[in-house]
Amino acid sequence: MKKLLVFALAVLAMVGRVRADEGMWLPMFVERLNYVDMQKMGLQLTPEELYSINHNSLKDAIVGLGSEAKPRGFFCTGEIVSEKGLLFTNHHCGYSAIQKLSSVEHDYLKDGFWAKDYSEELPAPEMTASFLIRMEDVTKDVLGVVTDDMDWDARNKAINGKIKELETAASEEGKYNPVIKGFFEGNEYYMFVYQVYTDVRLVGVANSSIGKFGGDTDNWMWPRHTGDFSIFRVYADKDGNPADYSKDNVPLVPKHHLPISLDGVKQDDFTMIWGFPGSTERYMSSYGIDYNVDTFYPIIIDIFGKELEVMDEFMQKDDAINLMYADNHAGLANTWKNFIGQCTMLRKNKVSEAKVTLENRFKQWVGESAARKAEYGDVLPNLKKSYEDLSDVAKYIFYPNFVAQAGPSGLATAFMGYYMAAQSKDKEMEAAALMELQGMDVDGMFAETNPQVEHKMYAEMLKTYKNAFKAEELPEIYTVIDKKFKGDIDAFADYVYDKSIFATPESIKAFIAKPSVKKMEKDYAFQVSQQMTGVLRQHGLDYRNTMNDIRKNDHLFVKGLREYYAATQPEKSLYPDANSTMRMSYGSVKDYMPADAVHYDYVCTANGIIEKYVPGDYEFDAPKRLIELIEKKDFGPYADENGDLIVCFLSTNDITGGNSGSPIMNGKGELIGLAFDGNWEAMSGDVNFEPRLQRTINVDARYVLFIIDKYAGATNLINELDIRKSEPQPIREVEETEN
């Protein structure tokens, strides 16, 4: 006989290695499309426990974070983690609200904030929490209004009318907020019925040196050591209904909240993420990819890069400016680096080539049938032509649009209505336009701006425009700059800020008190605004018509692709692109190899914070107390079995923007972390899922609890949470008889 060590639960290992699962799936179809696979991978919940409209289920703990009472889209996801409406999301998701609540004296981004009780919780500006009540397939109703003789515009008008009718009926006189969205490029339609809570309050957030550790340098990169979380609470009236902020409101008692696991993660553990992914383009043609990489992304990278340079110059010198521009900078920087990554990885991962292969197979399938050829034969040539046209017109749209919004010229645009009314010689129209000017919040137009930053930004935008065009394509204002300012755009910007009507609140108020068309016409800032608007007007119709053609042909292409897959790969389940509606993705904890001879582990520890730590650095500074706790290994119950503190971990879940803050859960539906980023090597993932490379970066729940408890001492919050840890399984000796 020989003795073998057999661990409890070892049977799970016999299921086999889990795999990366592509797809952001609608929860209402989980039982039919995904449940068996999820069970094999480690899911322990029933379909009814995942999604139900009749009983409390996991979906009731998932929250869409928005800024309006009508939830057309969500900027992030949150999850309810207590019986008193406590909500976890990412630090960067709460960033805007935290910035608005901050001042130089009480800078919660810089110093953090922890409420000791309900009375100290702060109303979060412009933040709403939407709970999904149910989703419903309304395709037949919506497309039932479409007839064969309708052109594209008439079709859309009829569809929009029907959508409005269905949404109104489902609102139950304002009790709910229904939203109907198109899927598969308008080939299907689903309704999502929400309850939207508008009283959301800040409860706790760590310093940005924890919540944004690594800054833009580490953004999208692994390993990552960012404590990307913030804590809010949802409030309701005494009956549990949505209500605007009131001191009489009480913490929401949710239908479901997520327990938090201290068990941690192992390679190949089952994971699932629920949330509200913003947008993907998995059905985009190769022509669309080439347009983005060669034209659109480079334009935005150019413009945003210049804006970020200006902000960085001033933000790193002045705390007040840093706080003022923090939210705007964070959004620009994220998009800027995202587009750089997409440009790089779409090419490196040969995504366009993969799409061409699919398109060639599709064309072959179309050509095998006269009926299919009649319906789909022109769709790809049409897309090719439309994207070529779009490439020709794009720079005449994006560059002037950003210049027209900059500095005094951006403010001058708001006066265009008065100018046109005064030019019309219609006294009633002019009087109405003047009344509108007199009602302007002029001081509000300058709020959250710094004259030095805006001044330099204005000059840099004018330079960026000039560098993007040939001399003969430039508007007349550049001739003025050449003749009167010797080509010196900085000198021109100085003159504008010194002389323009639109440069200061005082000069604008003086103009409104005594308006003059002649003064406007002589004003250089107004001339810039007029001329940039003229460029937009000259090319705008071509741009709109081309975009309309692309949408029409995308609709037809996806319709054809679905038929193609049904005929050639009937076993393949298709999922719709993300569109800020609730989705579920599932996968596993997994490492990866980004390049030859390079291996990335699936976890990173607090040791990496010490390694990256640079005292006083804009991105890699860290609080003294955090460093001391790490050096002492004072992690309490949040350490792993080796005594290390796991900060972040990787999983194969399929996510995108909007999933930020989403809960990543184990097979029991327990929170094990918060999703907050993707990885650099798979930046092409919004267009094509990369199973070998694509990973989600998650902040570990144990690190979140460590910061709340050991670092911040917010034990009132720890006591509120449902924290669980499995009992250690005994090692059993099993005798095996040798024959």
Given this model, what pLDDT does residue 426 score?
Answer: 86
- For 422-440, the pLDDT digits (tens) are 888 888 998 998 999 999 9
Q: What is the number of other CB atoms lying within 10 angstroms of the CB of residue 237?
A: 15
Q: N- to C-terminal Cα distance for the chain?
A: 9
Q: What does each C-alpha distance from 658 to 256, 588, 676 come to in angstroms?
A: 22, 20, 9
Is the pLDDT higher at 739 or at 715? 715
Record the tokens describing residue 158, joined without a space. 């009829």
660 annotated active-site:
yes
**What's the whole-number average pLDDT of the chain?**
94
- For 286-301, the pLDDT digits (tens) are 999 999 999 999 999 9
Given this model, what pLDDT does residue 4 score?
Answer: 32
Residue range 643-672: mean pLDDT, rounded = 98
Per-residue confidence band for 280, with pLDDT thresholds at 50, 70 and 90: very high
> Which residues is 235 bridged to in the sheet?
199, 251
Instruction: Provide the residue ranges of all domains of the chain, joining segments of one domain with +.
Output: 5-281+577-724, 286-545
**Is 289 in contact with 353 (CB distance < 8 Å)?**
no
Task: Point out the catalytic residue in the list 230, 286, 660, 684.
Answer: 660
> What is the gyration radius of the CA atoms in the chain, in angstroms?
28
Residue range 186-198: mean pLDDT, rounded = 97
Residue range 145-151: mean pLDDT, rounded = 95
C-alpha closest to that of 62 among 72, 52, 49, 77: 77
- For 444-497, the pLDDT digits (tens) are 999 989 999 999 999 999 999 999 999 999 999 999 999 999 999 999 999 999
Which CATH code fits 5-281+577-724? 2.40.10.120
Name the burial class of residue 288, with classes exposed (0-12), middle (13-18) and buried (19+) by CB atoms within 10 angstroms of its CB. Answer: buried
- For 584-625, the pLDDT digits (tens) are 999 999 999 999 999 999 999 999 999 999 999 999 999 999
Per-residue confidence band for 285, with pLDDT thresholds at 50, 70 and 90: very high
- For 483-533, the pLDDT digits (tens) are 999 999 999 999 999 999 999 999 999 999 999 999 999 999 999 999 999
Residue range 307-328: mean pLDDT, rounded = 95
- For 668-712, the pLDDT digits (tens) are 999 999 999 999 999 999 999 999 999 999 999 999 999 999 999
Per-residue confidence band for 2, with pLDDT thresholds at 50, 70 and 90: very low
Over the range 121-159, which residues count as b (16 or more CB within 10 Å of their CB) and which as e?
Answer: bbbbeebbbbbbbbbbebeebbbebeeeeeeeeebbebb
Give, for 508, the enclosing helix (H) or strand (E): helix 505-513
Q: What does each C-alpha distance from 602 to 12, 224, 240, 694 come to in angstroms?
A: 20, 11, 41, 12
Q: d(Cα 245, Cα 124) in Å, to the nearest integer? A: 10
Q: d(Cα 631, Cα 110) in Å, to the nearest integer? A: 23
**pTM of the full structure:** 0.92
The helix, strand and coil proportions of the chain, stated in percent and rounded to the nearest 5, come to 50, 15, 35
C-alpha closest to that of 11 among 732, 671, 726, 737: 732
Given this model, what pLDDT does residue 15 score?
Answer: 31
- For 46-102, the pLDDT digits (tens) are 999 999 999 999 999 999 999 988 888 999 999 999 999 999 999 999 999 999 999
What are the residues whose beta carbons fall under 8 Å from the beta carbon of 29, sequence distance 6 or more?
none
Q: What does each C-alpha distance from 287 to 4, 153, 565 come to in angstroms?
A: 59, 24, 21
392 annotated active-site:
no
- For 165-181, the pLDDT digits (tens) are 999 999 999 999 999 99
Query: Lowest mean pLDDT: which of 259-263, 394-398, 432-436?
Result: 432-436
SS (H, E, C) 192-213: EEEEEECEEEEEEECCHHHHCC
- Using the predicted structure, report yes or no on whether residue 282 has a pLDDT greater than 50: yes
Given this model, what pLDDT does residue 68 score?
Answer: 87
- Using the predicted structure, report yes or no on whether residue 730 has a pLDDT greater than 70: no
- For 106-130, the pLDDT digits (tens) are 999 999 999 999 999 999 998 999 9
Task: Point out the catalytic residue in the list 107, 199, 218, 228.
Answer: 228
Given this model, what pLDDT does residue 425 score?
Answer: 83
Task: Point out the catalytic residue in the list 92, 225, 257, 555.
Answer: 92
> Which residues is 254 bridged to in the sheet?
none
Q: d(Cα 406, Cα 459) in Å, to the nearest integer? A: 9
Give, for 38, the enclosing helix (H) or strand (E): helix 35-41
